[in-house]
Amino acid sequence: MDDSEDGTVAAGTWLARLLGSRPVETASLGRSFAPALAMLAADAMARQRRLLVVTPDDQCLADISNAMDLELRPLCLVLPAADPACRIALRATLSLLKSRLTRTGSVAEGPVWARQRERMARLAMPWRRCIEWSQRDIDAEPWPRGLESLFPVCIMPWSLARVAAAAPDWVVLMEVERLAEHATDRHRPWPMAERTLRLTAADARASAVLPINRRRTRAAELELLTQELSELELELATAQAEIAGFTRHYQAMIGSRMSMLDSLRAELATRAAERNPRDPAARREAETATARARQSQEDNERLARFDLPDGESVAARHFSPTDDLKRLYRRLAQRIHPDRARDDDDRAWRHHLMAEANRAYRAGDEVALREVMALWREGPRNGMTAPSDDDGFTTMLASLKRRIADIERDLNDLFGSKLYELFTACHIARRAGRDLLAEMAARLDADTAEARARLAATAACP
């Protein structure tokens, strides 16, 4: 039995216990706990049950987060116990959720996301406070109260869950043996929860309470933050590719037509001014129309040259990456991200591979992505070790934090653009069975035909 089958069996067992009548149940944690918890989280959301998963420490958070369904991951709040890693992870999660709620297309659809939108509308004030808190980015400022209620699934260590978690419907306590030194009431139901599931480790050695190891804790924090960052890198790369493909399609359908129409209208206005040389209004109209035509031509040429941030050109197509392609890109971003570099040479190597990964992903080329992964594995600097000294750890955290802020800014700029507003309008129209760009093109063709006829008529006049 492979891990996926193992996880499916475990998730089914846990779900049956949670759906039972007893307030507290016990089950085995099992080997494939990460995929099993991901399946349980998806099931809880589908059944409209708020789920809290309590871990003994930060060690397994990245594995659980990685196993989550790509489309549901933004709905899961995964936080480590230690600061500043906790705040960085929270800001990344808020940015990811905000982006997914803003983006159009096939993402953020279905019953689970419909309920999330209802939740966000109901909790509009806490949501706004969270976004404002994230934008202020003041390390000493506590995060807004009640932010946990924005997420249907929360996953966090015991030390954080006991003070930060909102009232859940279901609670899963992982490795209850390791909670022994903290959870004297671990045999009781979680406060205000309908069901509490205690998961015990089958291997006594695995369940032993481990001494706190600072380096191991740092490695776990960095792994989780890199995973959070890879989710945002995936979000940005996907949004950029979507708008790039739409931009080229818009230029082909609308830009060239609009440029032609404005040119014809400028010619009409110029001829009218020539026929009435003493009419200042006609002269001003001709100047305005000529300037508009010039701007329209420049805009069309700019759209025709549209490239992605790293200089690659893009075809006029609808970008629709498969889940496998997304997972592969995310896995690559976790491993090769430049913000995990140990020195300048390492950073340059990672930047090169990341650029290649971005190009391959935006082209929808899974083979090329796998080639980048092979290059990484064959390279001399493919480790994921955490820095051993305080300064190195602090520097790496600061680098991850800066990149998360950069991505958030890039996403805000993208979603705030006029072109993205049109992209959104086209998507809404398509869901209603309309092709908005085709309708716009038809109107432009009709207006162009009329302008040509008027030009022909003026040419025929003496």
Tell which residue, 418, 414, 415, has the closest CA to residue 309. 414
- For residue 48 the two structure tokens come to 């409209």
Q: Are 293 and 265 in contact (CB under 8 A)?
A: yes
Q: Which residues of the chain have pLDDT under 50?
A: 1, 204-209, 316
| Predicted pLDDT at 449 | 94
Q: Give the number of other Cβ atoms within 10 Å of residue 272's Cβ.
A: 17
Tell which residue, 116, 182, 393, 156, has the closest CA to residue 143. 156
pTM: 0.83
Tell which residue, 157, 147, 145, 152, has the closest CA to residue 53. 157
Q: Give the number of other Cβ atoms within 10 Å of residue 124's Cβ.
A: 10
Q: Are 172 and 54 in contact (CB under 8 A)?
A: yes
- For residue 133 the two structure tokens come to 């808190």
> DSSP secondary structure string, 358-398?
HHHHHTT-HHHHHHHHHHHHHSS----PPPSSHHHHHHHHH
What's the half-sphere exposure (Cβ side, CA atoms, 13 Å) at 431? 9
**Fold for the domain defined by 3-212:** Rossmann fold (3.40.50)
SS3 206: helix
- Domain residue ranges of the chain, discontinuous segments joined by +: 3-212, 237-436
Tell which residue, 285, 376, 283, has the closest CA to residue 328. 376
Tell which residue, 242, 250, 240, has the closest CA to residue 436. 250
Q: How many residues does the chain have?
A: 462
Instruction: Tell me how far apart the alpha carbons of residues 190 and 394 are, in angstroms, rounded to a whole number.
Output: 36
